[in-house]
Amino acid sequence: MAIKQLANLDALKQYIKPPSPRDIQEVVLHHTWSPTAAQYRGKPTWDAIRNYHMGTRGWSDIGYHVGIGPDADLSLWALRPYSRSGAHVLNRNAYSLGIALIGNYDAEDPTGILPTAAEVVRALCDRFEIGAGGIRFHREFADKTCPGTRVGLTHFRRLVMGMQVPKAEDTQPNIPTLAVVLGGNIVPCEPRLVGGRLTVDAVPFFNALDPEWALGFEYPGFVHADTGRMFIHEAAPWFKAHGWVIGGEVWRTETLPGRLVIKRLYPQRVEWLEGGA
C-alpha cells in the first residue's frame, strides 16, 4: 500500500478501525534522527525513508506503521499497513505498532510534536486495548537514544494516559521484558543494552540495593554521552544471584524442600512454575 496522508485524528481512527489479524500489544515510539525536523518536506520525506528501508535495508516496505510530521499542521501519515508486522524493533515486531516522529529529538525541541504524538498513541491504545505499560520507547530494546534524549518515557505515558480513562491494568506494576527485580520489587533504573552489554542507571540501582549486597559488588561504569548520567555494566553472575529479568528469561531460582521453584515474571502478572528438585 502506498504511503498516504490522513486528514486528521478522526481519519486515523477510521483507518485503524478494521480488524487486524495480529495480536497488537505494544506501541513503540521512534524518532527518525535523520532526517531532522528542519529537513522535513512532507510526502517526499516519507517516500525517501521508504526507499531507504526497501532499497538499502532490504525490507518489504517502510518499517513504521504511522508517521507524524513536524510541519505546521503536524500531519499524520499511514505508512506500513497495521495488519502487517513492522520492521522497527528487534524481536517485537510481530505484536507491536511503530510510530515515527520526524526529527532528531536528541537536539531538536520535541514539545511541539509530543501532544499530537500522545493523541495518536492514545487512539491506538484505545483501539487495541493497550495499557500504559504497552507504551514503549525504541531505546528500551536497542543501543539507541530513540525517540530522543529530550523525550521522557514516564512523562510521555502520563501525557497519553491523561487523555483517556485508565484501564484496570494501568494501576498494576508492569514488568518489561528488560527489567531489574530485586527483593521482589521492580527497580526503575532504565536497563538498556550499550554495545551489547546490559547496563543500568547507577543511582536508582544502588539506592534499591540491600547495603550488604552493595558492599560486595564491584562494577565497571561509564558516563553516558547523551544523558550525562552514570551507568554500570553487566556483571552477569551477580545479577543472576539477585534477580534479573533479561529478554523474558528470569535468572532467579529458589530451592524449597523437595522441589525446585522457578519464578517467572511477565507483563501484568507473576506466574510460578514448579518442577522436580
Checking if the pLDDT of 151 tops 60, the result is yes
Q: Are 239 and 198 in contact (CB under 8 A)?
A: yes
Domain regions of the chain by residue span: 4-171, 179-276
Secondary structure class of 251 (helix, strand, coil): coil
| Cα–Cα dist 81/97, whole Å | 10
Render 124-162 in DSSP notation, one character per residue. HHHHHT--GGGEEEGGGTSSS-TT-TTS-HHHHHHHHHT
Whether the pLDDT of residue 181 is over 90: the answer is no
Query: What pLDDT, on the 0 to 100 scale, is given for residue 108?
Result: 94
CATH class of 4-171: alpha beta
**Identity of the highest mean pLDDT range in 94-103, 171-180, 183-192, 245-254:** 94-103
User: For the chain, how far is it from start to end, CA to CA, in angstroms?
Assistant: 54
Average pLDDT over residues 62-81: 96
Given a cut of 90, whether residue 230 has pLDDT beyond it is: no
pLDDT of 167 over the 60 cut: no
178 band by pLDDT with thresholds 50, 70 and 90:
low
Count of C-beta atoms within a 10 Å radius of residue 197: 14
Nearest to 79 by CA among 149, 30, 147: 30
What pLDDT sits at residue 87? 96
Closest CA to 157 of 129, 100, 118, 112: 118
Percent of the chain topping pLDDT 70: 63
Cβ(177)–Cβ(268) below 8 Å: no
Over 60: is that where the pLDDT of 1 sits? yes
CA 80 to chain centre: 19
Per-residue model confidence (pLDDT) at position 112 = 94
Q: How confident is the model at residue 226 (pLDDT cuts 50, 70, 90)?
A: low
Are the C-beta atoms of 87 and 58 separated by less than 8 Å?
Answer: no
Q: Which of 39-48, 134-143, 214-223 has the lowest mean pLDDT?
A: 214-223
Q: What are phi and psi of 133, to 5 degrees?
A: -65, -15
Confidence of residue 107 (pLDDT cuts 50, 70, 90): very high
pTM of the model: 0.62
Give me the chain's average pLDDT, please: 77
